[in-house]
Amino acid sequence: MKQPTLGNPQNTIEILQKYSFSFQKKFGQNFLIDTHVLDKIIASANITKDDMVLEIGPGIGTMTQYLACAAGKVVAVEIDKALIPILEDTLSAYDNVTVINEDVLKVDINQLAKEYNGGKPIKVVANLPYYITTPIIMGLYESHVPIESITVMVQKEVADRMQTGPGSKDYGALSLAVQYYAEPYIVANVPPNCFMPRPNVGSAVIRLISHKKPPVQVKDEQLMFKIIRASFNQRRKTLANGLNNSPEIQLPKEVIIGAIESLGKGASIRGEALTLEEFAKLSNTISEML
Ligand code: SAM
């Protein structure tokens, strides 16, 4: 298969000029122009010719070329219709790529996995548009798309939030949600000069390997996530007050305090001190009371 031609500043500028492309800030367009970073993403994503890869936001097709060389099949979803003729050009040498001109948040990814991978687990690899990182990741997990791993470039601060545990200022609902579904680790930190145009934040590649089975036993997943959201909505309040003030949890305060105390914690504890396992236990106790 043809070796990638994109991935450096010169070839990127050439393509952008050929098509008089103008960057759309609203779509979070920061294209990769560093072959070392691209090699690192591809190597860490652990792709083989048996894999179907979903790429979110192919841009001008830089990473798509690398993915096409490594994977059996690549399905790339791009919202910006101005990029479609460019992708037809830059991907013309690769017959295992399908480009879909859609908003990824509106695409039925389960259906794509069925159609292109017989419903088997897919790998997601992307340099994500930062303005919708959380909805993309949570959408994939909550709609129970069969996923083996997600390897994505995100804002550095968001990568830290996904990876951290109790006691850190970055710990929150995103950390707990990601860690319920997957094992996260940061592969590399990436500075702004690896992109065109340069983003005004630092970036990181994070890899999320899906758990074969959830690390905690939860009777009612939705209730656990309601409790988690309520605990972090009012960070400076105690867990008991956070839950008591939440419109999603209708229980008398004494009952909430009783459930917290059954964890062996005092009523003044804050949500940010609880582990995923403790949130699971709390949710199981509360679900018996509802
Ligand atoms: N993969 C390319 C690269 O690394 O050079 C481009 C990455 S750029 C950070 C994000 C890409 O996502 C852009 O091409 C942008 O147009 C696209 N995008 C933004 N919002 C999107 C959405 N809702 N659905 C699909 N693609 C989207």
Given 147, 181, 210, which residue is the final one in a domain? 210
Per-residue pLDDT reduced to its tens digit, 29-80: 999 999 999 999 999 999 999 999 999 999 999 999 999 999 999 999 999 9
In angstroms, the CA 243 to CA 231 distance is: 6
Q: How confident is the model at residue 91 (pLDDT cuts 50, 70, 90)?
A: very high
Of the chain, the percentage scoring pLDDT greater than 90 comes to: 82
* Shared domain check, 284 and 228: yes
Q: What is the CATH number of the domain that holds 96?
A: 3.40.50.150
* Shared domain check, 166 and 81: yes
Please identify, by atom number, the ligand 1 atom nearest to the C-alpha of residue 130. 9
Looking at residue 11, its pLDDT comes to 95
* Shared domain check, 236 and 201: no
* Shared domain check, 35 and 174: yes
Per-residue pLDDT reduced to its tens digit, 107-124: 999 999 999 999 999 999
* Shared domain check, 232 and 203: no
* Shared domain check, 204 and 74: yes
* Shared domain check, 25 and 152: yes
* Shared domain check, 231 and 96: no
Residue nearest to atom 18 of ligand 1 (CA): 57
Q: How far is the CA of 25 from the centre of ligand 1 (A)?
A: 11
Domain residue limits at 259: 221-289
Given 210, 243, 276, which residue is the final one in a domain? 210
Residue 79 in contact with ligand 1 by CB distance below 6 A? yes
Residue reference for tokens 């990601």: 178
Looking at residue 233, its pLDDT comes to 81
Nearest to 78 by CA among 70, 87, 69: 87
Please identify, by atom number, the ligand 1 atom nearest to the C-alpha of residue 103. 24
Q: Is residue 1 part of a domain?
A: no
Looking at residue 275, its pLDDT comes to 95
Looking at residue 109, its pLDDT comes to 96
Please identify, by atom number, the ligand 1 atom nearest to the C-alpha of residue 29. 8
pTM for this predicted structure: 0.93
Per-residue pLDDT reduced to its tens digit, 8-20: 999 999 999 999 9
